[in-house]
Amino acid sequence: MGLFSNATAKKESGTLTLSPAEAFTAVLTTAMAADGYATDEELRILRDNLFSLLLFLPLVEVARLHMLERVLKLLESPGPEALLVGARSVLEADLRETAFAMAADMVTSDGELAEEEKSYLDRLRDTLDVNEEMAGLLITAMAIKNRG
């Protein structure tokens, strides 16, 4: 079974079916879009994650870029909520926490946390079923990391 065998455009029982790599990418792209625009720092974080996390190491650069293109299309339609629900169904609990941490890093990367971004992190925490205390610690840690 290939890495993209459950990929992208397939829906089963109303839930978008994603590979684990696509699911992680979906969380990061929805974080990037949370306030309506992508900063250079958010794009850097996305790129760094696509090229450094163990989940993405089996993918060559071209495959990573194609996967990102597919996820960005899904961000437009069916939209961010469908992507997050699809991601939740694929990612294991520990990887959901990792994805949440990376999303928190992304939305705090500009040193500010806009209301849209706070709302996004609340929805993401609920959708990924990340413990509220853990989510708070992760957001705080990423805000501290991004102060300077």
- CB 76, CB 9: distance < 8 Å: no
Mind listing the pLDDT tens digit for each residue in 63-120? 998 999 999 999 999 999 999 999 999 999 999 999 999 999 999 988 888 899 999 9
- Using CA atoms, how far residue 10 sits from 66, 68, 75, in Å, is 16, 16, 14
Domain that holds residue 129: 16-145
CA distance 42 to 48: 10
CATH classification of the domain holding 94? 1.10.3680.10
Q: Is residue 1 part of a domain?
A: no
Number of domains present in the structure of the chain: 1
Instruction: Give the predicted TM-score (pTM) of the model.
Output: 0.85
Q: Is residue 9 part of a domain?
A: no
- Using CA atoms, how far residue 134 sits from 19, 87, 96, 100, in Å, is 25, 19, 12, 10
